[in-house]
Every structure is written in C-alpha cells, then in structure tokens.
Amino acid sequence: MSEQSNYRSLAAIMFADMVGYTKLMQEDESKAKLLRDRQRNVVDKSIATHNGRVMQYYGDGTLSMFTSAIKAVEAAREIQEQLQKDPKVPLRIGIHIGDVVHDSEGVFGDAVNVAARVQSLSVPGGVMISGKVFEEIKNHPGIKVEAFGEHDLKNVFNPISIFALANEGLSVPEQSYIQGITGSHKNSVAVLPFANFSPNPENEYFSDGITEEIINALVKLDGLQVPSRTSVFAYKNTKKDIREIGKELNVATVLEGSVRQAGNKIRVTAQLINTDDGFHIWSENYDGELKDIFKVQDEISQKIAEKLEQNFEFSISRNLYEASTDSVVAYNHYLQGLYYWNKRTPESVQKAIDCYRKAIKKCATYTKAYSGLANCYSFLGTIGHLKGKAAFPKAEKFALKALELNGFRGESFVSLGFVDLFYKWDYNSAEANFRKAITMEPNNEEARIALAMYYRITGDLERMFHHTKAASKIAPVSLPVLLQHGYSYWLSGKHEKAMETYEKILELDPLFRSALEGMALVYVAEEKYDKAIKVVKKYLDLVDSEYKGGTQLGYIAALKGNKKLANENLEIIKKRGLANPDLNMSLDFAVIYAAMGENDEAFTYLNKAVDEKLGAILFIKTMFPIDKLRSDIRYNQLLERMGLNH
C-alpha cells in the first residue's frame, strides 16, 4: 500500500444492518433480496445527500463514513424514516466518532469496532449513538435522545456511554433490553492450561494445544467473555486458588482439566468450576484416539457451551471448533511449534521453525503454520539472531502465503505488518495491517502490542501507552503484554509504575529475563548504576552462553566512566560475534561506544545496522544510551535514512 492511498482521519462511522436477513433468505429469498435492495437504495441516497461515503457493503448492511457527526445522525434519521414506509425494512443503526485509517480496501481502527458494538445494541427502526457522538450533537435543535448510561461492550476496553435517538417515528429500546445485551462478567469462562498427565513430559505441547483450541472455539460464542491464551497461560502449574484466579481474570467460571496420551489413545478430563465458591458445576471424561482429536476438541467445547447455555442467553453455533488442518500429524507438529514459539528465546524459536516446517510438509495449506513461520523469522531478524536480509524475505513469503490461504485471520495481517515495519520501513502499510488485524479481531492482544511498537518507533508515546493499556485489559497477566506496558511506563517517565509492572512479571515467572532487563533500564535512567549492574547480573545468570556480559555491563561501565571495563565487554561481544556469524552485533557495539562518548565509532555501527536491516535499529528514538548522540548532526541523518525524521 502506498503512502498516497492510506489516510488517517477523525470520522463518524455508521454501521447499519437488516435484522433477520439470514432467516428471511431461508424462508423467502425473493422477499429478502427485495428488502435488501430497497435498503441499499435508501441508504446510498441518504448518505450521499449528507456528504457521507459508503466504505463497505455486507450481505445485509453497510459501513459508512462521514466527516461530521451531525451529518451522520441526520442521514440515519432520514434512512429510518424512509424504511418505515411499506415495504418496511427492519434496519438497526449505530454511530460512533473516532480516529480511523482508510484506504482503497476499507476503513479500519478502534472507532470501527466501537461503532459495530453500538449498532448491536440497536433495535429495528432505531439509531444508537455513543457518548462521543452525543457530545457533538447535544446542542443541535430538533434532535431528541434518551440516555442509557455507561456500558462495558465486548472487545471495547473502556466503558461507553450509550444514547438512542428518540425523535418521533424512531424505535427506542427498553433499558432492560440494553442491560440484557451488555450483561456482566458472569457470562464468562477462563480456560486454564490443561495438565499433561502423559508418561512422557515432552507431550506437554499436546496438552497446551488442546487448551488453545478450546479457547479458540469458545471465543466464537457471541456474548461469552473468554480471556486470551496469554492471560490464562500465566497460571500454568499455578497453586493459586480458583477463587483468586477468578477475581484476577474477572470471570465467573473456570475450566480446568488434564490430558493423558499413551500411544494412539487419549483421555481428556475437563471440569467447570464456579469461581465464587470453588464448587464444581460439572466434570466429564473423554476417551478417544489421536486420529479423532479434532472430534474430541469439538465435543469438549460443545459440552461447555451447552452447560453455559443453561444459565445465560446467547446463541450457540453447532460447529464451534474449526479444525485448522485435516492432518493429525501436521496438527501435532504445529502444536510443538507453538509450544516452542511461546518461550520466546532465540533457541526455542529455532525449534519452532523446524516444527512449523514439518507441519507444512504434511499439510501445504496450513494457514496458522505459515503465520507462525513468519513471526519466527521476524523475531529473529529484529533481535539480530539472524541477518535481516536473510530473515525478513522469508517472513514476508510466509505471511503472504497465510493471507493467500485465508484473508480473514488477524494474525496473518500482524505477521505482514511486522515485515512492513522492521524490514521495508513502510510505516503506513505496517500501521494499516496492524489496524486491519485489530478491526478483524479486537481482542487480539498481539495486534495491540504490534501497533504499540509502531507508535514507539514513530515517537508517539501517548498512543503507545493507549494500546499497551488496551492489551493489558485483554490479557491482564500476559508476560509479553506486561513487558510492553512496562516499557510504556518507563518511556513516559513513570518509573515507579514500570518497576511495579516488572515485579509483577517476575512474581508470575521468576525466569522471565526480559523483565530484569527492563528493570535495569529504569535504574540506568535514574542513574542508579550499581542497582542496574546487580539486576543485569541476575539476568546473565539465566543466559546459557559462553560469552556472558557484553552489552548491558559494557554501556553501564561506560556511563560510570570505567572505560577499561567497557572495553573488556567490547571484547566479549567481538568473541561472541566470531563464534556465531549469524548474529548481528552492530547495535551492541553502538550502544557501548555511544556511552563512552566515541561518536565516530557509534555512528559507524549504527549505519551498519541500517545497511544490514537490523530490525531493532528502528527503536533508536527510545534507545539508551543512544540519546547521547542526538545533538550530533549525524543522528538526524540516520533518522532520515530510516524515514523517521518527522
């Protein structure tokens, strides 16, 4: 996507859809098409009259954009007035105003997600608007509204004030109707990681995979809140009481279980527990063969849904589980790859690549395996454990293949966005792909974190914080999410909050070494160098390498004025690079030389990092102690080379 075709703007977004269209198509196809065509004719004319633009058509509805909230509201009123005439069209409309990105393919962003949720609260013949729209129109004569208070909407991270247009001829829902739809946390279930009871501890990836597939199935239930994988996996092997977990995740029920695999036989035990009192609601055993694993997962998901249906009001699809492949062997390899990928160390990511490749060899159309490969190569290219010119073309190839196979998965757009960002330095395309992922899957915390990284790179720390905060609401105990949120606090100068966040991570997992690295950065920013060194040494104790020390100890020594120790650490980096030619050590050298005040050497390595497409160089605006170089004219020249000089 070119810069010219990608725009950001503040816009009023209108969602409109016809109630009961699918059912009517089954009962009377000709009547359904007649009403749909009538709806489109009225909508098209009214939107054009009020200076709006239809951005996308659906089978039974439209997504439109206006530059003015009042114009959007006037258009909505006119549309409903027209469609109340015979033949009546049961249309419901929702409007919200906010920041969006739009291009030739459509419009994307949080405002789109909120507008869709506001529209879902409407009734046939009604127009629902958000508090932001109300603020724009409240003083406009002739417009009547009814307030419904603030509500938590699915996949929206802050409560939204809801209003209905109440002019004569428009339908206004009852307060109880809105309350019934928005519900509460009681309509929720957290799927804790299933325990591996197999004789072979290596089969842990299999129990992890079953957990993930059940989560993926349950999130398809409209009206059911299901915490993300990264949130619940923080409780793996936990000894915490179920009631405490329920409070932390804000869920009413918890599903836990175990998987035992022996040869081709599997037994899955699952039990649903009430988090208020810790009592079991139900428990079931499932016996089967490995070849029937897809059927077993579907049965478990269906059973949970049926039990929940007894207490809550929402529709259940009879095909909750959608197998990502027909090959059990490929699926097995994919689960192994996912297991290693989630460890997020260079060594484990290399193992994940091998597993994903085996999965694709058994199933050439395995979308999730292609996305997994793309993420692995982007990760290695960004941190310098594989040369960028070797890593990112592979990442792009696999991301594009995933999109070719299935263009409706948010993770595929995230994978492609990382290539756009860290390799092509096409910031507009990267942002658009991340926003597409969020629009398609608003509760995808990885997409939120990806967009936060984009804003960190471009220097918009306020928006970075917004998205890490949103991600932390989706996945409140996800270690990667908390890490990025800690970075947001640190970069915003909220050091105490940053340290609290890193300490929370280490409480959840004392071996999560990136949190120690984050703590060291806070101490360095506060010039508490001795404390920083102490934390770095804890970090290095967790690293399995012949050449320990180097970067962190080197630049801290330089900042303290100990050039001898700084040079000793430079020698460690050189030896490490010679031992592993695939590593890109340019930034490691640059930060130490910058801290030593040897600017010529620092810029030599910074430019080398740019030449070699080292992804992490893009964080230069928030990289310490590179900030010591900002007064040098070569710093802005370097930003210009990367397209970040704005």
Model pLDDT for residues 526-574, shown as the tens digit of each residue: 999 999 999 999 988 888 777 777 788 999 999 999 999 999 999 999 9
pLDDT for the residue 421: 95
Q: How far is CA 105 from the centre of its chain?
A: 21
Mean pLDDT, residues 514-531 = 94
pLDDT for the residue 312: 54
Locate 409 and state its tokens.
Answer: 């998965």
Q: How far, in Å, CA of 245 to CA of 247, rounded?
A: 5
Instruction: Pick the closest to residue 550 from 562, 561, 536, 560 (CA basis).
Output: 536
Half-sphere exposure of 226 (CA within 13 A, CB side): 24
Q: How far, in Å, CA of 521 to CA of 331, rounded?
A: 40
pLDDT for the residue 61: 77
How confident is the prediction for the chain on average, in pLDDT?
85
Give the other-Cβ count within 10 Å of 643's Cβ.
Answer: 12
Please say if the pLDDT value at position 223 is more than 80. Answer: no
Per DSSP, the residues of 138-150 read TTSTT--EEEEEE
From 18-32, 373-387, 583-597, the region with the lowest mean pLDDT = 18-32
pLDDT for the residue 103: 66
Mean pLDDT, residues 308-328 = 57
In contact, 400 and 390? CB cutoff 8 Å: no
Residues in the chain: 646
Residue predicted with more confidence, 545 or 618: 618
Residue 308 banded pLDDT, cuts 50, 70, 90: low
Q: How far, in Å, CA of 270 to CA of 533, rounded?
A: 46
Residue predicted with more confidence, 508 or 69: 69
Contacts of 517 (CB under 8 A, 6+ apart): 536, 539, 552
Helices and strands, counts by H and E, the chain: 27, 13
User: ∠601-605-609 over CA atoms, to 5°?
Assistant: 165
Give me the torsion for CA of 595, 596, 597, 601, rounded to 10°.
-100
CA quadruple 612, 345, 476, 484: dihedral positive or negative? negative
Mean pLDDT, residues 444-466 = 92
Locate 170 and state its tokens.
Answer: 């428009």
Under DSSP, the state recorded for 229 is H
Residue 357 banded pLDDT, cuts 50, 70, 90: very high
Q: What is the CA radius of gyration of the chain?
A: 27
Residue 491 banded pLDDT, cuts 50, 70, 90: very high
Q: How far, in Å, CA of 90 to CA of 22, rounded?
A: 13
Structure confidence by residue, pLDDT tens digits, 398-439:
999 998 888 778 888 999 999 999 999 999 889 888 988 887
pLDDT for the residue 180: 64
Locate 571 and state its tokens.
Answer: 């020698």
Please say if the pLDDT value at position 323 is more than 60. Answer: no
Tell me the pTM. 0.68
Under DSSP, the state recorded for 623 is -
Encode 105-135: b = buried (16+ Cβ within 10 Å), e = exposed.
ebbbbbbbbbbbbbbbbbbbbbbbbbbbbbe
Cross-strand partners of 150: 161
Q: How far, in Å, CA of 554 to CA of 564, rounded?
A: 10
Q: How far, in Å, CA of 80 to CA of 15, rounded?
A: 13
Percent of the chain with pLDDT over 90: 40
Cross-strand partners of 265: 262, 289
Q: How far, in Å, CA of 206 to CA of 72, rounded?
A: 51
Please say if the pLDDT value at position 285 is more than 50. Answer: yes
Please give the CATH topology (third level) of the domain spanning 189-323.
Rossmann fold (3.40.50)
In contact, 497 and 488? CB cutoff 8 Å: no
Give me the torsion for CA of 257, 260, 266, 268, rounded to 10°.
-10
pLDDT for the residue 294: 72
**Residue in the block written with tokens 């175990």:** 258
Locate 289 and state its tokens.
Answer: 């063969």
What CA–CA distances, in Å, run from 329 to 206, 297, 392? Answer: 12, 16, 28
Q: How far, in Å, CA of 237 to CA of 547, rounded?
A: 32
Mean pLDDT, residues 29-54 = 89
Residue 192 banded pLDDT, cuts 50, 70, 90: very high
Q: Is 297 helix (H, G, I), strand (E, B) or coil?
A: helix
Please say if the pLDDT value at position 317 is more than 50. Answer: no
Task: State the DSSP H helix or E strand holding residue 47, giving kind and residue range, or none if neither.
Answer: helix 29-49
Locate 504 and state its tokens.
Answer: 């929370």
pLDDT for the residue 2: 40
**Residue in the block written with tokens 């594989």:** 386
What CA–CA distances, in Å, run from 32 to 24, 28, 237, 480, 543? Answer: 6, 6, 53, 47, 64
Structure confidence by residue, pLDDT tens digits, 64-79:
999 999 999 999 999 9
**Residue in the block written with tokens 């409309």:** 93
Q: Is 633 helix (H, G, I), strand (E, B) or coil?
A: helix
Structure confidence by residue, pLDDT tens digits, 68-126:
999 999 999 999 999 988 889 999 999 999 888 876 666 777 888 889 889 988 999 99
Structure confidence by residue, pLDDT tens digits, 480-489:
889 999 999 9
Residue 511 banded pLDDT, cuts 50, 70, 90: confident
Please say if the pLDDT value at position 314 is more than 60. Answer: no
Please give the CATH topology (third level) of the domain spanning 3-182.
Alpha-Beta Plaits (3.30.70)
Please say if the pLDDT value at position 299 is more than 80. Answer: no
Structure confidence by residue, pLDDT tens digits, 358-408:
999 999 999 889 999 999 999 999 988 998 888 999 999 999 999 888 877
Mean pLDDT, residues 276-286 = 81
pLDDT for the residue 6: 66
Please say if the pLDDT value at position 185 is more than 60. Answer: no
Please say if the pLDDT value at position 321 is more than 50. Answer: no
Show the 3-state SS of 300-345. Answer: HHHHHHHHHHCCCCCCCCCCCCCCCCCCHHHHHHHHHHHHHHCCCC
Residue 620 banded pLDDT, cuts 50, 70, 90: very high
Q: How far, in Å, CA of 432 to CA of 420, rounded?
A: 10
Cross-strand partners of 254: 190, 273
Cross-strand partners of 586: none
